[in-house]
Amino acid sequence: TESVDIDRFTAWLRAFAGAIHEHAAELTELDSAIGDADHGSNMDRGMTAVAAALDADEFASAPALFKKVGMTLVSSVGGASGPLYGTFFLRFGGALGEGDADVTALGAALHAGIDGIVQRGKAEVGDKTMVDAWMPAVQAYDDARGDGLAAALRAAAEAAARGRDSATPLVAHKGRASYLGERSAGHQDPGATSTVLLIESAAATLAA
């Protein structure tokens, strides 16, 4: 059966760091419309620090790897997204065992990660945040799990993108965008956009 080892997890993190770097200007542009124009620079700073940590250290297990990732994001990213992504990775890694993760174990870890984001940020689907991309992604993963890891991750990435787009017409109820009230409607959420990059990176690397 297919399973994900630490090298694939590391490839995922490097791919996400690359995607964030490539899209940093776009993420900041989205945040300039409904926030404070720093989401791209926040995430790029955080994932650059994560990539440096991957270069500097060898990690013996996935939980140890993701603990480092989460703590690096919490400490290097100012703003809402640092603690939220940091919590995701801490919980995700905490739910993994020491060995390789199969499609079921990866699904359980994804659930633990998104539960952490919701506990921390208190956003629900429809509040126009990253949760609008995460929730349908995890649901799609569950639904496609029987078709194997690659199919489940691909379904998750597609659902995340649809979730991101479904949030665009909505009024924000959490985070800085909520300060704009009705004027937040019609703008794509930056955090939902970076979440799509994270899940697309997973689909491109974890089952490769």
| Nearest CA-CA partner of 17 in 162, 169, 185, 201 | 201
Under the binding rule (CB under 6 A), the answer on residue 173 touching ligand ADP is no
Least Å distance, CB 51 to ligand ADP, is: 18
Residue 156 CA to residue 110 CA, distance in Å, equals 11
Residue 135 CA to residue 35 CA, distance in Å, equals 22
For Mg ion, the closer CB: 38 or 200: 38
Residue 22 CA to residue 136 CA, distance in Å, equals 25
Collapsing DSSP to helix, strand or coil, 188 comes out as: coil
* From the list ligand ADP, Mg ion, none, partner contacted by residue 113 (C-beta under 5 to 8 A by kind): none
- Position among 19, 123, 161, 207 found at the interface with ligand ADP (CB under 6 A): 123
Sequence-distant (6+) residues with CB within 8 A of 14 are 51, 54
| Nearest CA-CA partner of 116 in 61, 45, 67 | 67
| Token pair 């940020």 in the structure block, residue | 121
* From the list Mg ion, ligand ADP, none, partner contacted by residue 70 (C-beta under 5 to 8 A by kind): none
- Position among 38, 132, 189, 200 found at the interface with Mg ion (CB under 5 A): 38
- Position among 84, 110, 149, 202 found at the interface with ligand ADP (CB under 6 A): 84
Interface with ligand ADP in residues 4-43 (CB under 6 A)? 31, 35-36, 38-39, 42
For ligand ADP, the closer CB: 63 or 82: 82
Under the binding rule (CB under 6 A), the answer on residue 136 touching ligand ADP is no
- Position among 65, 138, 192, 202 found at the interface with ligand ADP (CB under 6 A): 192
Residue 118 CA to residue 133 CA, distance in Å, equals 12
Interface with Mg ion in residues 43-82 (CB under 5 A)? 79
Residue 41 CA to residue 28 CA, distance in Å, equals 7
Sequence-ordered strand ranges (E) for the chain: 3-4, 101-102
Residue 92 CA to residue 78 CA, distance in Å, equals 21
Q: Which stretch binds Mg ion (CB under 5 A): 28-36, 84-92, 97-105, 157-165?
A: 28-36
Give the footprint of ligand ADP on this chain (CB under 6 A).
Answer: 31, 35-36, 38-39, 42, 79-81, 84, 121-123, 129-131, 174-176, 189-192
Residues in contact with Mg ion by CB under 5 A are: 31, 35-36, 38-39, 79
